[in-house]
Structure 1
Amino acid sequence: MQIHDDTVRVGLHSGQQYRTFPEALELWQRAEELGFDWVSLFDHFRPPLGGPAGPCFEGLTLLSALAARTTRIRCAVLVSAVTWRHPALAAAAAATVDHVSGGRLEFGIGAAGPDLAYEQYGIPFPSAGTRLDMLDEACRVMRGLWTGESSTFDGKHFRLTDAHLEPKPLQRRLPLVIGGEGRKRTLRVVAEHADIWNTLAGTPDAYRATLSSLEGHCAAVGRDPRDIRKSVTFRAVLGEDAREARERAEELRRRIGNDSPDWSEYVVVGTPEQCVERLRPYLALGVRDFLLGARPPVDWRSCELFARHVAPALRAG
């Protein structure tokens, strides 16, 4: 795959809050059948959504199993928390999944956010500044192991001494996705290391301002911002007509409640045509990856309408 081409891709971001493996597998295989280009998990251990005892499979082991049971679709984690694993272990896991998938992995990494596992499992949760330092070092460690014969690294948080990783990923350059939109530090890390930058869609005006900050960081490090693929994640409730969409949104509201944090991620409750119009401004801003959130229970109606009507319109430009 050529990361830096102008092809528009559409995908599903599913997470892994399922109770059985067949449920997770169904989404990945149906996503492939529906013609999506990408499907991803997250890398929470105990995500706040769903409560302290909610179901959640471990991300990278599930990713490997799902990659082995698909054939075409790009397989991703969006994103792995830098606090969970030493980056050499993350790099080795990523290289393994790239082989399992036949070279279809896109590996996301971020500075970590809220997760009940820090308290439940006693995992340290450093300050935001420390986590961002760790993220910068982790990107350097992972890329070095993926590309060099051996790697030595002496950072504040991670150290490698004549370290080897074999076999290397199948892809000549395994795509590194960095998630986040912190304008001072996170976007600096994106400018230096990311092949793909992912963030929530928000509003076009807010996205434009964040993109401007990224372009400033790219100028500072001497990188062309066009070399970083732009990716947005969002949610939508779709229906053949506005009435159907409203009724389905009301059903969702009764199920998840008015105070669910998910509501801020919905870009549209409406028809596929309205969804296209809501997303077109991002095309003009250079976004080429559009990832529809699909947490369980999966809204198959919206997924199918998106695949049949919204995706072709976005790909046509």
Structure 2
Amino acid sequence: MPVHGDTVRFGVHSGQQNRTFGESLELWQRAEELGYAWASVFDHFRPPLGGPGGPCFDGMTLLAALAARTSRIRCALMVSAPTWRHPAVAAAMAATIDHISGGRLEFGLGAGGDDLAYAQYGIPFPPAGTRMDLLEEACGVARALWTREVSDFAGRHVRLEGAHLEPKPLQSRIPLVIGGDGERRLLRIVAEHADIWNTLAGTPESYRRKRDALARHCAETGRPPEEIRRSVTFRAVLAENERDAAARKEELLRRLPADSPLLDEYVTFGTPEQCVADLLRFRALGVTDFILGVRPPIDWLTVELVARHVMPAVVTAK
């Protein structure tokens, strides 16, 4: 599946708060069978759900294992914070996973946000400005190590001196996904470095504002905005008819507190036809990649309805 262009892709983003590897593997292999083009894991050590002791597999090592047990689907980490690993170490791990996957990796980077691991594990959590600096330097370090025979890099936080990375990735250009929506600094980094920009869907109105901010940054850097694929992560609760969809929504609301931030991530509570209409509003704004957020307990009905009914309608829409 090409990275550039306006080809529409659907994927699943699997928050790996499972208790067995088999649960994660089942979702990825089933997504591949259903025709999804992409599957990703997150890169939290202590995730925001499940309390301070909730289950969570490591993202990078899980990604390598899942890549080895799939054959077609694009394999992604979305997104890794450079506070977790030295950027050169992360780039080397990414190159290895690209080999494991047979050249299917799409590597995500972000500035990082709240994670209980910072306090639990004693990992430093720099101020936002420093994390943005680290993100920008991580992009440059990764691209240099993936493409140059010898790399030197002198940033404020990261240095490379005569650095080698062999073997190089299988792909001549690993797609770099940058996640986030900060309009002043984050989207500037997207304009300069990203092949794919990912953000939570939100509302079409809020997405339009972010898209326009990115376009302004692209104009300032001299980069055509169409070089960057636009990706949104969304959630949905679907059923084959409106009555069942309403019942499933009520079931979800009994499990989630009324002030849960997760509720803002849901684009549709309804039928596949309603989901198609909701996603086409984003497609009209230039979105090419639609990533269905799936965390345990896995909503298999929604995963299958999106694949069988939503995906074909959105992909073929004019």
Task: Please give the TM-score of this superposition, normalised by the length of structure 2.
Answer: 0.99
Q: What SS is found at the alignment partner of 2:308?
A: helix
Task: Give distance in 1, aligned partners of 2:265 and 2:226.
Answer: 26
Deviations 1:88-144 (A, max 9, x none): 000000000000000000000000011000000000000000000110111000000
Q: Which residue of 1 aligns with 2:304?
A: 304
| Distance (whole Å) between structure 1 residues aligned to residue 239 and residue 15 of structure 2 | 23
Cα distance in 1, alignment partners of residues 93 and 41 from structure 2: 15
What's 2:23 paired with?
Answer: 23
Within 2, Cα distance between the matches of 1:209 and 1:286?
13
**Per the alignment, in what secondary structure is the counterpart of residue 236 of structure 1?**
strand
Unpaired runs of at least 5, structure 2: none
Alignment-derived partner of residue 291 in structure 1: 291
Alignment of 1:257-296 (within 5 A): 257-296=257-296
Q: State how far apart, in whole Å, the 1-side matches of 2:82 and 2:275 are.
A: 34
Deviation at 1:259, TM superposition (A): 2.8
* Correspondence 1:27-42 to 2 at 5 A: 27-42=27-42
Separation (CA, whole Å) in 2 of partners of 1:48 and 1:229: 28
Give the aligned partner of residue 177 of structure 2. Answer: 177
The yes-or-no answer on 1:2 pairing with 2:2 is: yes
Shift of 1:211: 0.6
Aligned letter for 1:184? R
1:287 partner SS:
coil
Match of 1:138 in 2: 138
Q: Separation in 2 of the partners of 1:286 and 1:27?
A: 28
> Does structure 1 residue 197 correspond to structure 2 residue 207?
no
- Whole-Å Cα distance in 2 between the matches of residues 135 and 282 of structure 1? 27
CA RMSD, 1 decimal: 0.7
Amino acid of the residue matched to residue 96 of structure 1? T
- Quote the offset at 1:266 in angstroms: 0.4
Equivalent runs, 1:77-92 vs 2, <5 Å: 77-92=77-92
Give 3-state SS (helix, strand or coil) of 2:35's partner.
coil
Is this contact kept in 1: 2:5–2:227, CA < 8 A?
A: no
Q: 1:105 aligns to what?
A: 105
Partner of 1:234: 234
1:258 Cα shift?
A: 2.4
Residues 170-211 of structure 1 show CA distances to partners (whole Å, capped at 9, x for unaligned) of 011000000000000000000000000000111111111111
Q: Secondary structure at the match of 1:124?
A: coil
**Aligned partner of residue 192 in structure 2, secondary structure:** helix
Question: Hey, what does 1:51 align to over in structure 2?
Answer: 51
CA distance in 2, matches of 1:222, 1:184: 17
Q: Which runs of 5+ in 1 are unaligned?
A: none
C-alpha deviation, 1:282, in angstroms: 1.1
CA distance in 1, matches of 2:145, 2:68: 24
Q: C-alpha distance in 2, partners of 1:274/1:77?
A: 29
The question of whether the paired residues in 1 share the 8 Å contact of 2:237 and 2:248 is answered with: yes
Match of residue 93 from structure 1: 93
| CA-CA distance at 1:9 after TM superposition | 0.3
Residue of structure 2 in register with 1:256 after alignment: 256
SS of 1:139's equivalent in the other structure is helix
Partner of residue 149, structure 1: 149
Moved more, 248-257 or 28-37: 248-257
- Structure 2 residue 252 is matched with structure 1 residue 220: no
How much does 1:2 deviate?
A: 2.4
The whole-number CA distance in structure 2 between the counterparts of 1:316 and 1:47 is 36
Instruction: Quote how far apart the aligned CAs of 1:256 are.
Output: 2.7
Instruction: Describe the SS at the equivalent of 2:42.
Output: strand
The alignment partner of 1:43 has SS state of coil
User: What percent of counterpart residues are identical?
Assistant: 68
Count of residue correspondences: 317
